[in-house]
Structure 1
Amino acid sequence: DGMRGGTVYPGSTDGMHGGTVYPGDTVYLGGADGTGVGAVYPGEDLAAALQNETFRRYALDSTLYCIRQYRQDFRKEDYVGGFVRYRKYSRKDCFRVLNWEEQPLAQNVGGYMFHPDDENCPIFVNYHKEEDISETTKYEDGFLDTSTLAYMSKSKRKLTSPDVIKFREASERGIRLPLFIKKENAEGDDFYYMGDVTPIPEGFTQTTMGEQNNVSVVKMIFKIDRPVERSMYEYITRDNL
């Protein structure tokens, strides 16, 4: 009914200790009078389990640890619409936090993908690309400074392409543009959340790429909502070779 959680915890058939694992209504949200207003309090199963000293001690220890970690790691100014600045996220994490109903296929995402309703468009940057990749995928993405990013559209795009227009008009259309960057593929599949970006429309220019410079592409300029911290900026931009 949305008012309580049916979590799973270890216990015997009487819910006290040891034995099998089974589901129980353990936590109620709302007041004890059933109005749905007030504090969080234990349901019958959890209340019974808490009568056991060992269970209560472990539950308290786990709870206090979680509170400590939260206070240690969480800074309100680094929390932006579900993401924590400079925390790592997989592509699946990103789409889940952004409330996409379906996970898109990675090969369809590429460097970016607009939400079906244009609510958001996460941007993914692999900063140091391998030398042996196709010439038409050697996008010249990179920081211009700690507050500005140059980012290339997908290939075969022009200033009049629908996705480029969406990027250029993102602020007016209310499209959120969260930016995720990883230093290189050797780091793995996860990206650092760098913040949200907004377009600088006058910085959009059409150019070409490829071995014969015959593939159209648009170079776009974005402003990052907060300057990237120097240590992170230097880590991302520094070439290990």
Structure 2
Amino acid sequence: MFFRNHIEDLIDYSLIRYKSYYCGDNLKLYGKYSTEDVMMVLNWSSRELPLNIGGYYEKDDECAIFVTYEKNDNRSESTRYPDAFIDRKYFKWMSRSKKDLSSNELQSFLNCKDNNVNFHLFIQKSKKDDDYYYIGKVTPEDPQQTTIPGKNGIDLSIVQFKLKLDNLIDEDLYNYFITTIYEDVE
């Protein structure tokens, strides 16, 4: 009986630990994933090209949001979104440019309380990184119609959200993202 109790405790502990890391979707919290890995784990067709994802992609009640935290000056102005952590619980995130509150592709974000879409946030520090960290599930909140600079000084419409993280981001990972690394860019 003594041995059995220890085994049951070990199993219970293992299940709790598994649930704390795997968010119920076979995605390990703070694990590193390529866009291809995410597509596979979420059971998306291999015919989808990672290059066509363009920041976020939704299919079958799953939405993966991919963010490059540090944008270099070589990117066009219309893709240098000011995405950033507000704190360890909230992340400021922008939709694609030329979108507004009536855009069809944003309706699942805008009506997230009424649908069953799971939103997953993946962040890489810079384009030099091949993979993204899985930050966890998020809930889009507080949509704001705004603009960002576009080509030739023409403002482009965009929608800004606060993404509420289901789990506080690990403090070390949070500090890694918010600390700017200055490097010579050729």
Range of TM-score over shorter length: 0.7 to 0.9
**Larger CA Rg, structure 1 vs 2:** 1
User: Could you tell me how far apart the structure 1 residues matched to 2:32 and 2:148 are?
Assistant: 31
User: Could you tell me how far apart the structure 2 residues matched to 1:124 and 1:204 are?
Assistant: 18
Tell me the residue number matched to 1:122: 64
CA offset at residue 171 of structure 1? Answer: 3.2
Q: 1:232 aligns with which of 156, 160, 173?
A: 173
Tell me the residue number matched to 1:149: 91
Q: Which consecutive unaligned segments of at least 5 residues does structure 1 have?
A: 1-70
Residue 159 of structure 2 aligns with an amino acid whose one-letter code is: V
| Superimposed CA distance per residue, residues 174-223 of structure 1 (whole angstroms, 9 cap, x where no aligned partner) | 00111100111112x210001000121xx111111124252111111110
Aligned CA distance change for structure 1 residues 184 and 157 (closer, same or farther; 3 Å): same
Residue 93 of structure 1 aligns with an amino acid whose one-letter code is: D
Tell me the residue number matched to 1:160: 102
User: Could you tell me how far apart the structure 2 residues matched to 1:210 and 1:239 are?
Assistant: 23
User: Could you tell me how far apart the structure 2 residues matched to 1:234 and 1:123 are?
Assistant: 20
Aligned CA distance change for structure 1 residues 103 and 233 (closer, same or farther; 3 Å): farther
Aligned CA distance change for structure 1 residues 103 and 236 (closer, same or farther; 3 Å): farther
User: Does the 8 A contact of 1:171 with 1:199 survive in 2?
Assistant: no
Residue 205 of structure 1 aligns with an amino acid whose one-letter code is: Q
Tell me the residue number matched to 2:27: 83
Q: TM-score, normalised by structure 1?
A: 0.65
Tell me the residue number matched to 1:194: 135
Q: 1:209 aligns with which of 140, 148, 168?
A: 148
User: Does the 8 A contact of 2:36 with 2:50 survive in 1?
Assistant: no
User: Does the 8 A contact of 2:21 with 2:28 survive in 1?
Assistant: yes
CA offset at residue 169 of structure 1? Answer: 1.2
CA offset at residue 101 of structure 1? Answer: 2.6
SS of corresponding position for 1:114: strand
Taking only aligned residues, the RMSD between alpha carbons, in angstroms, comes to 1.5
Which moves more between the two structures, 95-104 or 132-141? Answer: 95-104
Share of identical aligned residues, percent? 35
SS of corresponding position for 1:122: strand
User: Does the 8 A contact of 1:111 with 1:125 survive in 2?
Assistant: yes
CA offset at residue 107 of structure 1? Answer: 2.7
Tell me the residue number matched to 2:7: none
User: Does the 8 A contact of 2:89 with 2:168 survive in 1?
Assistant: yes
Q: Which has the higher contact order (CA 8 A, sep 6+)?
A: 2
Q: Which consecutive unaligned segments of at least 5 residues does structure 2 have?
A: 1-13
User: Could you tell me how far apart the structure 2 residues matched to 1:174 and 1:227 are?
Assistant: 22
User: Could you tell me how far apart the structure 2 residues matched to 1:130 and 1:167 are?
Assistant: 27
* Residue correspondence of structure 1 range 1-241 to structure 2 within 5 A: 75-80=18-23, 81-115=25-59, 117=60, 119-187=61-129, 189-200=130-141, 203-211=142-150, 212-241=153-182
CA offset at residue 108 of structure 1? Answer: 1.5
Runs of 4+ in 1 over 3 A off after TM superposition: none
SS of corresponding position for 1:83: coil
Residue 179 of structure 2 aligns with an amino acid whose one-letter code is: R
